[in-house]
Structure formats: C-alpha cells, structure tokens
Structure 1
Amino acid sequence: MIPKRGLLFLESHDLWIFKHVAELKSVSKAAEKLGYVQPNVSQRIKSLEDELGVRLFIRNNRGVTLTDEGLVLLEYTNQIIQLMDEAKSVVKPKKWRESLTLGASQTISAVRIPQLFSSFFKEHKNIDVKVRTHDTQKLQEMLSYGELDGIFAYGTFNSSQFESVYSYFEKIVLISPKKIKFEKQYEQTLIVNSNPNCIYRNKTLGLSKENKFLDSTIMEFDSLESILQAVHDGLGISIIPADVAKSRKETQSIQYKELSETIKIDFIIKRKKQHPKSLTKFIRFLALQ
C-alpha cells in the first residue's frame, strides 16, 4: 500500500503522464504519444515517486513495469480521471461529452457490436464511443489496467477481478468456395486467424480433426476480411460467426453451412464499486436487449 506522508499535492497532469507510462510500459513511448521530450516525462515520474515516497516502476531493458504500489496508484488514477471527465461533461455537456471505451476481437466487432451501438446511440447521442480490437487475452489485460471500460469476449476470465453483466450466443457457419462440395473438403486448406487463441481458428481446426480431413494445410491471416477474401478466392474453408456470413451474402462464390454449435459471448467489466456513468447507461441498455 502507498504510505501516508502528510498532505500530498498530486497534480492531475502528473497522474495523466503516469497513466500513459503505465499503459504503454515505456517512458519513451509515453513521451512520444504525449508530445514531450523523454527527460521531462522521466522527471515528472521521479517527482511523483519522491512525493509518494515509493517506487512506481521497475526499469528493465524492454521498458518499465508497475510495482505493487504503482498498480494501486493506477487504480486510483483511473478513478480520478474518470470523475474529472464526468464532472466536465456535467458542468458543460456541449463542450465535454461522456466517453465509453470498449474492446472486442475483430470477429465479434464486425457485425454484432455495430448493431448494438446503432440502437444505443438513438437514446444516448451525447456519448462518444471508442472500440479497440485485439485478442481476448490482451483485452483482459487492458481492462485490468483501466484502458477499457468493458470488453466483449468469449471463454474463461478471472471471476475475482471481472464479472459478466450481459451475454449472448453466437451461431457459427462453415464457409467454403461454392465449387467445392463438403464431402471433398478434406482436400481443402484451412483458412484461420493467426492468433492461436482465436476460438474460430480452433473451431476450424477441430472440424478438420473430427471429420478426419487428410493432408489439410493451414493458411493464416491477421484479419477477418483477409480470411473472407481467401475463401472467396477459392483458397480454402473456414468457420466464422453466422452474423458475419449473413452480412456478406452478396458474395456469390461462397457457400454457407450453419453448424449446430454456438459460442457464448460475454460483456465483461471490472469488479469495483463505482463505474463511469456512460458504462452504467450501456449496461442498462444491454439488459433490455
């Protein structure tokens, strides 16, 4: 815990700099993003450490990592910045708008999330929403550091740190070039995401194993659009969300086969007593869906 050393005069700007260094895990990257010279950022961090009487970061060859005291301060920093943003939006809403930053994988964010936001914005036009895309593991890390207000994700999560406040089930489909019959798909290349933890990648590989596909090669891509294009060009087969497939039915060269299995998607937030008002509004909105 951070020790009490009399009256502290923490400046919000110093906390803002600290937050950037903590999230980027680098003084130089934080300086570049903020438009400062690196010595200035280093000095502000040192002054903050001197004032608190603790080390906030451990320096290493790759950058910096937070100490236990630094993690505590980051938690409070996120709350302070959140309250400041809310205060500005209440005092002068025309100038300072509420914000909501969410995370999701590329596949999840392709169709379902835009549909949700379309309905959400009809009721809350004064909230600016940002969506960050990454793999589930990275999104959970960003959520724990306070970089995100909530994430749409699948699979297990740390229930002592996070909680699911909304969930839905996503249908999945097998997509393949129309010129190839399913019975002959054992000869096809498997088109998958390059992230080894991608659930759609694992479903595609699992389908190959279950059906005893022979001599199947694997072709990896970093984006959903590249996977769709690869199948469109006749390179192989893949498994994707049904909503994504339906939104691209105009692609005449792809055939779709809906599978019986579904995938559970959770909207996960950090366990804490107080959440941003914009997040509370979004959670209430999801409860009505």
Structure 2
Amino acid sequence: MDLAALAIFRAVAREQSVSRAAERLGRVPSNVTTRIQQLEAEIGVPLFQRDRKRMALTPEGEAYLDYVERILNLADEAQQVVNPGGPAGTLRLGSMECTVASRLPVPLARYNRQWPEVTIELSTAPTRQLIEGLLAHRLDAALIAVPEGEWWLGPDELDKVAVFREELVLLLPPGHPGVERPGDIQPRALAAFAPGCTYRMLAEEWLSGLGTLKGRFALQEVRSYHAMFACTAAGSCFSVMPRSVVELLRPVAPVEEKALMTVDTYLACRPGFATPAFLALRDTLAAFSNLEGGDHAAG
C-alpha cells in the first residue's frame, strides 16, 4: 500500500468511474484499474461493486474510504508543516451555508489572487457535521457557529477564533402583525435545516422558552435559505436566519422581520493545526471581519 494507490482509490470513489478518475489524475484508465485491483488484492476484500455505468463502494469500501481520507489529509498536512515554504497544497474548508453565501466570496477571491498555489476544497454542512468532519480529519478548517456555553463541545476539542458576527432575525410572512413573544407567531411551522444546525437549535430554544414549541409548532426541514425564504414569503412558515442572508434575498419577496440575537461565526481547526495555507486564510478572514479590529468592521 502506498499513498499513490490510496489517492487513486479516493478518486475512483469520488467519481464513481474509472475513466473520470483517470482523467482527473492524468493517468490512463488501464493503470487506474490495475492499481485498484492490486489494492483490493492486498486488502483481501472487494472495495467496489462494478457495473457498466458506475463504480459503487461496497460497505467495506465505504469504511476504507473514511480511513483513506484521514491518511491522505494527514500526509498533506505533514508535508506542509515539515517543509512549509509559502502557502501551497490543498486546504479542505467546511462552512455553514449562510457564511458561504454572505461572507466568503470576496475574501476567498482575494485569497486566491494572493496564494494561487493553494487549492481550497470548499464544502457546506451544518455546524455539528462540520465539527465531526474536523475531528475525523476530513476537514482542515471550518466556519461554525457555537452557542454560548458550548455545552456540546469540549473546551479543548477545537481551536477557534471569532471572525464574523451575525444578527439572527425572525422572518414572518408579509403583513404579519408585530411579534413580542413566540405565542404571537401565526404560522404553525418553522422552516429550518436538518438537525445539527446551530441556528435551528437556537430558534427552537427561543420558541420553547415558554413551552410553546411542542404541540404548537411543526418543523419543516428545507435544504437551502432560498427555500426557507420562499416558504416564509408564501405564508406557510416562519424562519430564523442571519440578517446578512436576508439582505441577499430581500429582492425576491417582501417579508416581515424581528431581531432576535447575535451569534458569532468561528474559524475552527484541530488544536495545533497551523499549515501556512490555513494561517494565510485566517489572516485573510480577519481582514474582512465585521468584529472590532477587522479592516471591514463597519460592514
């Protein structure tokens, strides 16, 4: 087993195709097929279920892929730390959907111009899933929202630095009367992301403060802020999201809003993670922070 073989296995698993993986890796398909067969022979179990259309992982292949991701990511991290030079290599960055939409485009464009040798692999997920990815070495860094008190995250599990502050607002259908407490909300469903989203958890806590969540409000899970906004504008739901996202979506349809609370977004990594690519990203995000001290603090 070597790192090249593991990289080939990962590419085929991601592409679900030998030909697409070969094109991505700059190899001929026959070479990729041979390396996969050699790896399976070495391990002693089939890693793929083969048919004419795609290469799907077997249950053993799924389990093996998790280890392969961690091994390759650690090897890349080790290379960058031992022989740092300038920022280079791959940086696997996870982020909440709202941060990608409203905060990252301009900073990442600057980062790409300044450090073209770095490839950022960007993925989105709720905070809980991002933390799992960090701890499992599937991600190098992530932009997360951690509630005050951090009761579900140990104080030493991650290194974190606050980079953005978001104002969460309650969104209501157009023409909805003013709301002072959860009981004033007329729609009977909260549009929210799947479990693991910090903003959903905070919304549920606010709604259940007077014991009004269970039996009064249902949950309608959606996959995007656009869907959340549309459901609210249509009058079937209400929702909670950052004001920075509301400003992006406001031209779509009118809604009513009420400020609820502020929540910080943190750039998080495993303790001690300090590759040049990550440190350069941390500095870039700090320059665009809306917290005190950022170059764009007034934004």
State TM-score, norm by structure 1. Answer: 0.69
Aligned residue identity for 2:197 = C
Q: Which residue of 2 aligns with 1:282?
A: 281
User: How far did 1:195 drift?
Assistant: 0.8
Q: Which residue of 1 aligns with 2:266?
A: 266
SS at match of 1:227: helix
Residue 169 of structure 1 contacts residue 265 of structure 1 at CA under 8 Å; is this kept in 2?
yes
* Cα deviation code 1:89-109 (max 9, x no counterpart): 989x9xxx7443311122232
User: How far did 1:234 drift?
Assistant: 2.0
Aligned residue identity for 1:240 = M
Q: Does 1:162 align with 2:158?
A: yes
Residue 98 of structure 1 contacts residue 278 of structure 1 at CA under 8 Å; is this kept in 2?
yes
In the TM superposition, what are the counterparts of 1:119-268 in structure 2 within 5 Å? 119-121=110-112, 123-155=114-146, 156=150, 157=153, 160-183=156-179, 185-210=184-209, 212=212, 215-259=216-260, 261-268=261-268
Q: Which residue of 1 aligns with 2:75?
A: 80
Runs of 4+ in 1 over 6 A off after TM superposition: 30-33, 36-39, 83-87
Structure 1 residue runs without a partner (length 5+): 1-9
* Cα deviation code 1:196-239 (max 9, x no counterpart): 22222233333333364784333221221100111122222111
Aligned residue identity for 1:198 = C
- In 2 relative to 1, CA 84–218 (structure 1 residues): closer, same or farther, beyond 3 Å? closer
- In 2 relative to 1, CA 206–76 (structure 1 residues): closer, same or farther, beyond 3 Å? closer
State TM-score, norm by structure 2. Answer: 0.67
Structure 2 residue runs without a partner (length 5+): 23-28, 48-56, 288-293, 295-299
Q: Which residue of 2 aligns with 1:65?
A: 63
User: How far did 1:121 drift?
Assistant: 4.2
CA distance in 2, matches of 1:74, 1:132: 15
Residue 192 of structure 2 contacts residue 239 of structure 2 at CA under 8 Å; is this kept in 1?
no
Q: Which residue of 2 aligns with 1:12?
A: 3
CA distance in 2, matches of 1:38, 1:158: 44
**Number of residue pairs the alignment of both structures matches:** 260
CA distance in 2, matches of 1:198, 1:127: 29
User: How far did 1:39 drift?
Assistant: 8.1
- In 2 relative to 1, CA 61–287 (structure 1 residues): closer, same or farther, beyond 3 Å? closer
Aligned residue identity for 1:136 = T
- In 2 relative to 1, CA 33–85 (structure 1 residues): closer, same or farther, beyond 3 Å? farther
* Cα deviation code 1:85-134 (max 9, x no counterpart): 999x989x9xxx74433111222322122243244345445544332012
Aligned residue identity for 1:257 = K
SS at match of 2:217: coil
- In 2 relative to 1, CA 205–64 (structure 1 residues): closer, same or farther, beyond 3 Å? closer
SS at match of 1:247: helix
SS at match of 1:250: helix
Residue 99 of structure 1 contacts residue 127 of structure 1 at CA under 8 Å; is this kept in 2?
yes
Q: Which residue of 1 aligns with 2:51?
A: none
CA distance in 1, matches of 2:156, 2:41: 33
User: How far did 1:165 drift?
Assistant: 3.7
Tell me which of 9, 21, 33 is aligned to 1:34: 21
Give the RMSD, CA atoms, in angstroms.
Answer: 4.2
CA distance in 1, matches of 2:61, 2:118: 34
CA distance in 2, matches of 1:42, 1:270: 35
